[in-house]
Amino acid sequence: MIAAVVLTLLAAQTPQQFFDRKVAPILTRRCLPCHNNELDNAGLSFQKPATVQRVLVPGEPDQSRLIETLKHEGQVQMPPGIPLPKKEIEVLRQWVKQGAVFGTPLR
Ligand code: HEC
């Protein structure tokens, strides 16, 4: 599974394409309902990348609050309720590791 993610990354694609193909579907389905321009819980809207910068350390998933909340180990657990499948967490980790580059704005 992790090998599959790595292979995906090795395939020629820009960080923007990786965002559009792999990251955007996860954020749209799992996070956008509560973190959008109308409902921006904790001030975060995934439609406005600038608002998400404070919970990201580009290149450093282990220092990124966003990734920490996905582990469901601390007080703030995202998404609330059932944690994301490991595969999706791994995609978001890779995204942050690559620099947390956004692509096409989410709608
Ligand atoms: C059901 C609504 C809901 C969903 C879905 C949701 N969030 Fe949240 N999120 C919240 C609320 C409410 C808060 C503020 C709660 C708090 O601070 O305890 C929050 C806060 C956060 C924070 C800020 C934590 C902090 O300490 O500053 C992060 C990061 C975050 N969410 C990321 C995500 C990500 C990534 C997803 C998708 C995987 C997601 N959220 C999905 C409702 C949601």
**For 39-95, how does the pLDDT look when each residue is reduced to its tens digit (9 = 90+)?**
999 999 999 999 999 999 999 999 999 999 999 999 999 999 999 999 999 999 999
Q: What is the pLDDT of residue 42?
A: 98
Tally of CB atoms within 10 A around 44:
18
Cα distances from 5 to residues 2, 39, 70, 93, in angstroms, run: 5, 31, 18, 10
| pLDDT one-digit tens code per residue, 33-49 | 999 999 999 999 999 99
pLDDT above 90 (res 9): no
The protein residue with its alpha carbon nearest to ligand 1, atom 21, reads 42
Going from N- to C-terminal start, the domains of the chain cover: 20-97
The CB of 79 under 6 Å from ligand 1? The reply is: yes
Q: Per-residue confidence at 8, pLDDT binned at 50, 70, 90?
A: low
Specify the pLDDT at position 60. 98
CA 77 to centroid of ligand 1, rounded, Å:
7
Name the closest-CA residue to atom 20, ligand 1: 42
Residue 75 CA to residue 68 CA, distance in Å, equals 10
pTM of the model: 0.91
- pLDDT above 80 for 12: no
Q: Which residues are registered as beta bridge partners of 35?
A: 40
